[in-house]
């Protein structure tokens, strides 16, 4: 059974915005990140990366590196334990043993420029770098496959020769198409034939990067007793444990991962790159701790970005503005090994609309680019861009208000997603109404200065949010404060948003909580901080642990007052029975004679998370001489269920919106003819900064999630999705030209303007 809740509405802690517990350490530089890890006897690792995007490895000569002074060990793929050809479940993720091994260190071929070929451990960082560069590799160069069209061509060079594609359930060898799958309900072709208007477009988008500030890093000690200890910047310590153990062929119980603070992830820090390599080098170096820190260009070239690709989108409507049919092909780049976000894209693509019939076909395409990884609502931004581009054209064609059209066709409780699953209570209609009533939507766009033009765009999007496994432990201390251990990496203030949920139950100020994130030996399994799951899922574990603590304390109170436990009541932080009362923090100092410390723990494994919707409005100006765009007003409306910590929820929405605007207007992997990324630095990979953006206004709509006692929904993912189309449609309105390829960068705008 799945619990559903009558949502609480009167709060003392939930809905306030206290200062985060880790704030002082982070602003003063005391917080320990992966790059700060120092262990006695520390040595450094470095890697040799492929200069080619597609090549066969003919030979590797490590003799010169091994002979260098200060070098302890050299590693190639041959030093990894032989992996079985299988996929294992690892925590909440899967590990393809052979392919993930081959991704972190190439075996017979390199699949992208920057692919690791060999690694060394040496006395210091410079020596390690010098030794890595001394390794000689002989390559047989192969034609690079840099986009989905090239990869899907009949005569395409095959990148992963062992791949047997799954094409709608049929096994297909010699292909770069790792998977074709379909969700189809109803007679789609007949519905199109009976539609008044059918619009079909194909949109394209480049691979882009999450752009987290802190690069990947790992330190590992593989001691003589077989115990492996790891420090690594990650969104989930248990994910590092699972993947590292899986790729090294050892039990997870032999791996301990210490939590370190994380300087941004956005999905990109859910996969391991260095930990297994550092472990093997540590073992080969006599158990010395080995540390890796990735350089920025390698972060771009070789750690998982968001997939580019193309999406064909066909929508049919009647003259009265009701959608009659929808059909799409989602074709996303997996990168050098299978596994793009196309599955999630397929779930999200039609989720804003109540469709009578639909067909979704997904393609997972191997190309000579880094293996893609998650990035905020993985797959949904690409899907949202495609459908919202066509919806915008339909509204123009019909002459219908763009919010009214969306309201007339909006998904609601009972609507089936494109994959057939039915929605519980969702808040898209409430978001659209809030957009309709917003000052932004009601305000005129205004006139642009000479030489510039203004436009407004609007778009909606969906993310299903995540549940899964989390653990939280509580201990009431003698002084009335609460020690809280929980397993979620804290990226966006989740220590505080989790503690607030326990504080609400206990009636203790959240400032009296001491939240910690211990190592994987010291807390129950907790999934990755991702999928907008943490405040919801680990927060629910904290809520449950607090409820258990109250039950424990009622027994203690009954003991103290020599009454039956059934006579003890608890409300607003105070226990009462038979006319007596005592506050929970006062009680904390009287617990010793009743059985010592009062503790509780809760682990949850949640089936679902309650869905999230966002609607964004973007006003921007275009410089008609240069094509430069400036966002001048932006409003993000989102159903947050219940904002536990409104300031952090707003920050998530604003951050996601800015990343989405960058995706729409500037960011791209610029790939040269030889398959290399030309713009592998923050100087050339142009992400928006605070200087580029206006204040992102937010409107938080609260439609309580029935799966959570406080109505919480995840907030971090969906805000990156609508900007891709909202900003693009704003440029369309400003310039009178439609854009079907991202980013809508100045050169592309000028090309459109000058094409008359």
Beta bridge partners of 474: 484, 600
**Residue 1, both tokens:** 């059974």
SS3 state of residue 482:
strand
Closest approach of Cβ 385 to other proteins, in Å?
16
- Spell out a b/e string for 56-76, using b for 16 or more CB atoms within 10 Å of the CB, else e: ebeebebeebeebebbbbbbb
The least CB distance from residue 739 to other proteins, in Å, is: 25
Place of tokens 């006579």: 567
Cβ distance to other proteins smaller for residue 68 or 424: 424
Taking the complex as a whole, how short is the minimal distance between the CB of residue 662 and other proteins, in angstroms? 15
Output the CA angle 244-464-311, nearest 5 degrees.
Answer: 90
Give the nearest distance from C-beta 267 to other proteins in angstroms. 3
Give the nearest distance from C-beta 2 to other proteins in angstroms: 5
CB of 578 within 8 A of CB of 561?
Answer: yes
Query: CB–CB of 717/612 below 8 Å?
Result: yes
Q: How far is the CB of 708 from other proteins (least distance, A)?
A: 13
Find out whether 441 and 573 touch, Cβ atoms under 8 Å. Answer: no
Helices and strands in the chain: count of H runs, count of E runs: 20, 30
Look at residues 55, 49, 77 and name the one whose alpha carbon lies nearest to residue 135: 49
Based on CB atoms, which residue is closest to other proteins, 236 or 316?
236
Pick the closer one to other proteins by CB: 3 or 695: 3
Under 8 Å between Cβ of 50 and 117: yes
Please state the closest distance from residue 86 (CB atom) to other proteins, in A: 9
The answer to whether 483 touches 475, Cβ cutoff 8 Å, is yes
Between 419 and 623, name the residue whose CB sits nearer to other proteins.
Answer: 419
Burial class, 712, CB count within 10 angstroms (exposed 0-12 / middle 13-18 / buried 19+): buried
Q: Which two tokens stand for residue 393?
A: 């054209």
**Nearest-approach distance from CB 169 to other proteins, in angstroms:** 3
Q: Which residues bind other proteins (CB under 8 A)?
A: 2, 87-89, 92-94, 166, 168-169, 181-185, 210, 266-268, 270, 343-344, 346-347, 374-378, 419-424, 463-469, 528, 530-533, 605-608, 716-717
Query: Which residue, 144 or 379, has its beta carbon nearer to other proteins?
Result: 379
C-alpha distances (whole Å) from 193 to each of 189, 198, 207, 326, 329 are 6, 9, 35, 12, 19
CA-CA distance, 687 to 683, in Å (whole number)? 9
Shorter beta-carbon distance to other proteins: residue 14 or 83: 83
Q: Cβ(358)–Cβ(326) under 8 Å?
A: yes
Closest separation between CB of residue 423 and other proteins, Å? 7
Question: Which residue number, 358 or 629, has a Cβ lying nearer to other proteins?
Answer: 358
Task: For other proteins, give the closer residue by CB, 130 or 166.
Answer: 166
Q: Among residues 183 and 554, whose Cβ is nearest to other proteins?
A: 183
Cβ proximity to other proteins: between 344 and 643 the closer is 344
Question: What is the signed CA dihedral for 532, 534, 535, 540, rounded to 10 degrees?
Answer: 120
CA 27 vs CA 31, 131, 236, 425, 705: distances in Å: 8, 37, 23, 40, 34
Whose Cβ is closer to other proteins: residue 600's or residue 611's?
611
Q: Which residue, 192 or 423, is less far from other proteins as judged by CB? A: 423
Helix (H) or strand (E) holding 475: strand 468-476
Helices of type H across 425-493: 428-436, 439-442
- CA gap 634, 727 in Å, rounded: 9
Nearest distance, CB of residue 359 and other proteins, angstroms: 9
CB of 185 to other proteins, least distance (A): 6
The least CB distance from residue 464 to other proteins, in Å, is: 7
Other Cβ atoms closer than 10 A to 572: 8
Question: DSSP states of 579-605 as a string?
Answer: TEEEEHHHHHTT-GGGTS-EEEEEEEE
Least distance from other proteins to the Cβ atom of residue 205, Å: 16
Residue closer to other proteins, measured from CB, 292 or 363:
363
Q: Which of 278, 210, 275, 271 is nearest to 235 (CA)?
A: 271
């Amino acid at each position: 059974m799945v619990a559903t809740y009558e949502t609480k509405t009167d709060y003392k802690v939930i809905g306030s915005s206290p200062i985060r517990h880790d704030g002082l350490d982070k602003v003063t530089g005391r917080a320990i990140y992966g790059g700060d890890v120092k262990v006695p006897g520390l040595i450094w690792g470095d890697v040799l990366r492929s200069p080619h995007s597609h090549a066969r490895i003919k030979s590797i000569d490590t003799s010169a590196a091994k002979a260098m002074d200060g070098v302890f060990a050299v590693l190639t793929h041959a030093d990894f334990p032989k992996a079985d050809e299988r996929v294992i479940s690892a925590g909440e993720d899967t590990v393809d043993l052979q392919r993930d091994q081959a991704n972190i260190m190439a075996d017979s071929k390199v699949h992208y420029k920057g692919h690791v070929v060999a690694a060394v451990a040496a006395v210091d960082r410079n020596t390690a770098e010098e030794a890595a560069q001394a390794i000689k590799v002989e390559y047989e160069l192969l034609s690079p496959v840099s986009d989905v069209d090239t990869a899907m061509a009949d005569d395409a060079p095959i990148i992963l020769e062992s791949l047997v594609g799954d094409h709608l359930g049929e096994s297909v060898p010699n292909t770069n198409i790792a998977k074709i799958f379909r969700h189809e309900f109803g007679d789609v072709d007949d519905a199109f034939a009976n539609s008044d208007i059918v619009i079909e477009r194909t949109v394209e988008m480049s691979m882009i990067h999450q752009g987290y500030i802190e690069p990947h890093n790992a330190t590992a000690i593989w001691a003589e007793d077989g115990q492996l200890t790891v420090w690594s910047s990650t969104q989930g310590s248990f994910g590092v444990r699972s993947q590292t153990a899986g790729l090294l062929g050892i039990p997870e119980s032999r791996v301990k991962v210490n939590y370190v603070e994380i300087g941004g992830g956005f999905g990109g820090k859910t996969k391991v790159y260095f930990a297994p390599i550092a472990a093997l080098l540590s073992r080969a170096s006599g158990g010395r701790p080995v540390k890796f820190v990735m350089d920025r260009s390698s972060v771009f070239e070789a750690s998982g970005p968001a997939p580019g690709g193309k999406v064909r989108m066909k929508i049919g409507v009647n003259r009265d503005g009701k959608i009659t049919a929808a059909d799409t092909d989602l074709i996303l780049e997996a990168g050098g090994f299978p596994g793009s976000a196309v599955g999630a894209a397929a779930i999200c693509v039609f989720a804003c609309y109540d469709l009578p019939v639909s067909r979704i076909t997904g393609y997972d395409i191997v190309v000579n680019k880094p293996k893609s990884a998650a990035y905020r609502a993985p797959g949904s931004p690409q899907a949202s861009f495609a459908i919202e581009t066509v919806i915008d054209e339909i509204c123009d064609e019909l002459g219908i208000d763009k919010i009214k059209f969306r309201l007339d066709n909006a998904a609601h409780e009972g609507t089936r997603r494109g994959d057939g699953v039915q929605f519980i209570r969702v808040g898209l209609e409430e978001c659209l109404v809030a957009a309709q009533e917003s000052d932004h939507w009601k305000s005129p766009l205004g006139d642009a200065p000479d030489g510039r033009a203004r436009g407004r765009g609007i778009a909606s999007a969906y993310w299903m949010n995540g549940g899964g496994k989390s653990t939280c432990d509580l201990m009431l201390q003698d002084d009335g404060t609460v020690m809280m251990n929980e397993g979620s990496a804290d990226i966006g203030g989740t220590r505080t948003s989790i503690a607030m949920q326990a504080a609400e139950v206990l009636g203790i100020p959240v400032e009296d909580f001491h939240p910690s994130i211990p190592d994987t030996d010291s807390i129950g399994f907790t999934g990755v901080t991702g999928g907008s799951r943490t405040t919801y899922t680990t927060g629910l574990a904290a809520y449950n642990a607090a409820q258990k603590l109250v039950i424990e304390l009622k027994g203690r109170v009954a003991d103290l007052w020599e009454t039956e436990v059934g006579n003890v009541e608890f409300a607003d932080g105070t226990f009462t029975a038979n006319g007596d009362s005592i506050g929970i923090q006062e009680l904390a100092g009287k617990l010793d004679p009743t059985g010592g410390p009062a503790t509780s723990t809760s682990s949850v494994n949640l089936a679902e998370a309650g869905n999230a919707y966002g609607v964004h409005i973007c006003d921007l100006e275009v410089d008609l001489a240069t094509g430069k765009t400036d966002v001048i007003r932006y409003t993000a409306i989102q159903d947050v269920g219940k904002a536990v910590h409104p300031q952090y929820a707003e920050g998530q929405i604003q951050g996601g919106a800015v990343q989405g605007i960058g995706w729409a207007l500037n960011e791209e992997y610029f790939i040269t003819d030889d398959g290399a990324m030309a713009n592998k630095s923050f100087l050339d990979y142009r992400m928006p900064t605070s200087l580029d953006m206006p204040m992102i206004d937010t409107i938080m709509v609260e439609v309580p999630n029935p799966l959570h006692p406080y109505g919480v929904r995840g907030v971090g993912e969906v805000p990156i999705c609508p900007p891709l189309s909202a900003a693009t449609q704003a440029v369309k309105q400003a310039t009178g030209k439609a854009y079907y390829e991202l980013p809508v960068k100045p050169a592309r705008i000028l090309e459109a303007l000058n094409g008359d």
